[in-house]
Amino acid sequence: MQELLRKELGFNGLITSDATPMVGFCAAMERRLAVPTAIAAGCDIFLFNKDLEEDIRFMKEGIANGILTLERIDEAVTRILAMKAALKLPEKQAEARLVPEKEELAVLQAEQHVQWATEAADNGITLVKDTAGNLPLRPAATPRLLLQLIGPYEESNCQIASTVIPLLEKEGFHVTLYQPEDFTTGFETVSQFRSKYDAVLYLANVENRSNATTTRINWYTLFGLGNNIPWFVDEVPTIFVSLANPYHLMDVPMVKTYINAYDNNQAVIEALVAKLLGKSGFKGVSPIDPYCGLADARR
């Protein structure tokens, strides 16, 4: 930080750490050494503490044993105060303006921003494959849809369902939201399934999130059975849409129609429904290999 960032690159701003309770910081060395060493190396301010009083003690011990100098402390404090002054925080605090007024929320949902979001959604959604010709969906041909929402967060899934279901029903579809099977419901035969549903629409809402080591699909099964797993791809038209991770074909190579939408906001959902119904064309181009190098994912 001192040699490259300060001297060679000429950076004169404030240097902050990442969250210091995380394992990347804690596992580098003993914390009693890591705290003063990080400051000595050029870190001006810590993001989060393991324990504030303990970290202050570690810093003082580092000064006492020569790891950290008072000159370096003064430099770090000067940069912190300079940042506060540049942001006019003392004045804002004196005037009780540290928290923005409600009027400043007016910038949210600004007309220009909404237009940009709509354009981004329209231009971004990518049809990766439709080898079975399942698109466009038409209520006259496939009126009864089984909607499957896959994702770890129930609240997020419910928000998506509350947007997409009314849009589909407005177009004339009868939408059934998948409910996990249990011992009281039993399992449907192939004939029973086909008599209830004309098509299946998967919406995978599996986002990258903190401390998740993978963004793969976790199916719900009861002894390996149930309608969450796509056993019916050759029985009824099945469309799979990813609202986040664009690599899901690794887990669903058997689906014949696959779409990457990249996000789950309202603009994307609205644009997606329009494209599923053929009211808007697919304009997106895959920025990655959505087939994940798998030959069977292309069929």
Query: What are the residue numbers of the active site?
Result: 18
With contact defined as beta carbons under 8 Å apart, do 206 and 244 qualify?
A: yes
